[in-house]
Structures are given as structure tokens and as C-alpha cells.
Structure 1
Amino acid sequence: MKLIVKPDLTWSKIIHFPHVEAAPFDKKTGTKAVEVTINDKSIFAPNPTTHQTGFRRAELLPESNNGTDPSTSGVKTLHFSVRIDNFRPLNYSHEYQLVFLETNDFSSNQFVLKTGTIVGDPAKRRSPQHLVLQSNVRFLATTRDLHVVRFTPNVWHNYGVVLDFDRNTTQVYYSRQFDTLHPVTLVEPNDVSGQGQYHFGLLKKPTGDNLTDITTQGYQESGINEGIIFGGIFEEDSSNGCISVKP
């Protein structure tokens, strides 16, 4: 895995191994959960002259996923499990991106798993403590909620996201705890072109009105100590229709 953080932050300050029951697919392989955390210093600097002061963010990226590799071609199912850390709670007045695929030219995210108060949803159609898996977010008018579920604590929320990069479609599988994954959407049209890289972590957006550049503007409170727990991250080739629904 690669780490996306400010250069002066180290793995030991960001990554933790929480004492939680292993996620379903981790149980089979003997692997364990990992937690990504953010604090007041979690300001990403993509280059020496650019600092994303509007965000607080830290993400893990698979080492082999360079933006043009086979993980974003053909038909793939991305598996992951996510759960709340009760000791490092999120501030649901903000929007968080937890898992997303970012195009290789950095122009969009082909899908995003979000929680909190989602930017661009002024109607506040739901309480903030939900997991919302959205389609391509390039244009707000065409972004759709593919799956929404209450982000309940003390349980694993398991996903299998089927990405057909040839036909530009997405299908979502979901379960809680150790239940079998089951489809919660049909095969939906969704622009997943542009290849790119998978991100797992916390991208916390600012609050504030009339922001023109959320990467550098808006409000972030001080004293941040927040985390999100992941497990069972892997990808499988589903070109033959195979989708693992249980370990």
C-alpha cells in the first residue's frame, strides 16, 4: 500500500491496527483490520507549492495500482469492509470520502463511498450517519446514489463493487457482519472510464457557504482525532461472472 499524506507525517502516526474482530474475508486469509486516522496536521501537499488546506485527509492506495494497470480494465469486483471506530468518532457535520476510484487524470471519481453531510445535498434528504455509495461525481446533476444504508456502529459493512470498464456499468453487493453479500442494485449505467487509482481512508471536506475552492477554503475545527477501520480489501477478476459473496 502507498500512503497519501503530508510528507512530514509517517505511517506510525496515521495507521493503526485496531483490536476488532476480523472482517469476513480477513478471517479466511488470516489478515487483519487496518485503521486510517486524521488529525489537524493531515493536510495533503501534492507538490511543494500546493497544500490542500481545506481538506483533512489520509488515504491508502494499493502499491500495484499505478493508474493504468489492469485493476481498472475488464470486469473487476472491488471488495472491502468498513466500520466505525467508537474511540475516534467522525464529525458528521462534514462530508467524508471513505473509498473512491479517482481517474488517472484526476478529473473525477468514478464511484465514491461517502458519509456525513454531503456537499451539494442542501435538502439534507437523510440523517448524516449513513453510508452513501455514489456514481461518477464529475457532474452533480448526473451523480446518483447507488446504495444508501445506515452507518451503524459495532458491525462490519461489507461491499463488493462490480465495475465493468468495458460496458461502463456498476453493480453493488452489500452485507453486514458475516452475512453473505447480496446484490442491492441492478447493473447500473455509470461512467467508469479513465482508469485511475483506488483510495481507502478519510478525505474530510470543509464546511462553509459560497466556497469556490473547497481544497483550500472553508472551516475545519481544531483538535481532530478521527479514524475509520477497513478490512477485507481485495479485488477479483469477474470477467467470467465470478463474484465472491462469502469467504
Structure 2
Amino acid sequence: MYSIMASYYSLLSFLVMAATLVVSQQCDLQFDGRVPSDFSAATLNTDNGVFDPNNVFGQGLDLGSVVQIQDSLSSLFDVGTIPIEVTISDDSIFAPSADNVQTGFRRAELLIASNDGTDASTTGVKTLHFSVMKDANRPLNLTHEYQLVFLESNDFSTNQFVLKTGTILGTDTADPDTLQLFGNVNANPAQILFSTPFTEDVFHNFAVTLDFDALTTQVFYSQDTDALVAQTETLANDVSGQGQFHFGVLKKGLNGGDDIVKNGEQEQGIDEGIVFGGIFEEDSSSGCISLSV
């Protein structure tokens, strides 16, 4: 009886929220990570107001050298803005400190300029939007695990959610060419909230509603210019701990043992990338969630 009533109230909550969805992007914004059409890659090396020019990329590099402006493309929520590609190479070895050189990873990520780890983007109820697309000229090596989008807690102890692709470490990955959205990675086992084939030549659009009070997550998804559609009900997921959102390519090494960050193996000649578009976060405290432009 309890499970039936619980399912009823979960469905009722889902329907109430669905009634407040909006067709066009009218919700109040918390941050906007869409790239203005007059930006060049070099603009991102300045205090540009969109992305942090100091993180996250390899030693000796700058942000402008690891991104490519993709002005011939347009994602669902890019209107007057342009997608951007994040790339990794053999030089993409991040060193957050002198004694923490992450030789087992290759990574480059965009961090939102206003998202300092304790700001309002990780409080209340917020919906994060982003679109991802493959670059056929910079294909990923799917024998590795990749993190493309994730929220890293402010104490660096977990990712409250993470979009992965490739061969997921510690799992029997049936198809590595799949986008898999995981909940908090410290859960045992980590929950797959949503998955879909990572098909080429299309933008894969996501909206992830994060309730930082109720500790829940709901996933919306579509392709190209189709309006977003709810893929899940509101799911329990521990999103506490605040932190920063990352958008990019974090390639984990192979055979890393107990210290994959330092000991993971990477091949030579890396030239890989993922295109991002339509990055923004809106306030959904009133139930407002944008489905299309």
C-alpha cells in the first residue's frame, strides 16, 4: 500500500511540475554560458564574464588555445550566440598544484565565471541546460572513460551528477558510444539517471533540474532543434555540497590502479574534442523550466 501511495504522490508531483513548463526560454537566469557571436577564442583569455580564463587546462596552455569557436553550428538554445568546442591533446595535463600533477588524465573544461563553488547556482531549485555534439574530425577513443559535464562538490569529494561516455571504469559497458548521465558518484552503486546513444551529426540537448533542498534530480532531453521532453520523474539524488559545474573533456587513463589520477595510461597523439552549445542555468523555484527557444 505504501509503495502505491508513494508512486501516486511522485506522479502527482511530476504532473504539477509539468504544468509549469514553458515552451520558450522565459525563466529567470542564474548564469549564462552561451558564447556571444563576436567572441573569438582569444577573448576567453580575458576576464570575459562568461567563462573563467584560468581553469581548467594543461600547464603552459591558455583557455583560448584549447577551444575552437564553431560559428557554423547552432544548438537548440543558441540564438545570437555560438557553440564552442573544447579540445584535448598530449599537453592537456592539469596541475592544480605543484604536488598534484594529473598525469593520468587529459582534460580541458569550461568553468562558469560566476560559479565560485558557494554561489547561488547550487542552492534552491535550478535547471542546468547544455547541448553536446561529436566532432568527427576529433573523435574520442572510446576505450577510455570520459566526463563531459559534471558538478564537482566544493570540497572536491564527489560529483553530484556527471555525464559520461566511453568505457566506464568499474562497469561492464555494453556500448561505449553512449551518453550516460549518472547521479552522485559516491552512491553505491552510482545510479544511471538517463542514457542515450551518442549519435553523430546532431546536438544532444539536456536540461537537468537540481533541487538542492529536496536533493532530487529530473532529466529532460531532445535532439537538434526539437523541444526538450521529460525523460524521468523527479529522482532522489544527493546534490548537496555546492561546487562548480564543468563542461569539457576529462579523459581518464587506463590501468591506473588505486591512483588513476596519477598513474592512468594515455596514448600519444591525442587530438579530441566535444562541441558545446546552449549552456545556461535558470531559476526553477517556481517550476519554470524552458523546453525550447
TM-score bin (small chain): over 0.9
How does the TM-score come out when normalised to structure 1? 0.95
Partner of 1:132: 180
Partner of 1:235: 281
Within 5 A, what are the aligned runs for 1:1-247?
1-2=51-52, 3-27=55-79, 30-121=80-171, 123-124=172-173, 126-139=174-187, 141-208=188-255, 211-247=257-293
The letter for the 1-side match of 2:280 is: F
Q: Show structure 1 runs of 5+ residues with no match.
A: none
Question: What per-residue deviation string (whole Å, max 9, x for no partner) do you get for residues 173-220 of structure 1?
Answer: 0001111101101100000000000000011001126x0110001210
The letter for the 1-side match of 2:73 is: E
Structure 1 stretches of 4+ with a deviation exceeding 2 A read 18-21
Contact 2:144 2:253 (8 Å CA) reproduced: yes
Deviation at 1:4, TM superposition (A): 0.6
- Number of residue equivalences: 241
Question: What per-residue deviation string (whole Å, max 9, x for no partner) do you get for residues 95-150 of structure 1?
Answer: 000000000000000000000000110x22x21000000000014x2311110100
Equivalent residue of 1:104, what SS?
A: coil
Larger Rg: 2
Q: Show structure 2 runs of 5+ residues with no match.
A: 1-50
Bigger helix fraction: 2
Question: What per-residue deviation string (whole Å, max 9, x for no partner) do you get for residues 32-74 of structure 1?
Answer: 0001000001001011222000000010000100000000000
The letter for the 1-side match of 2:176 is: P
Q: 2 CA distance for matches of 1:198 and 1:97?
A: 12
Q: 2 CA distance for matches of 1:7 and 1:43?
A: 6
Q: 2 CA distance for matches of 1:37 and 1:97?
A: 13
Contact 2:149 2:164 (8 Å CA) reproduced: yes
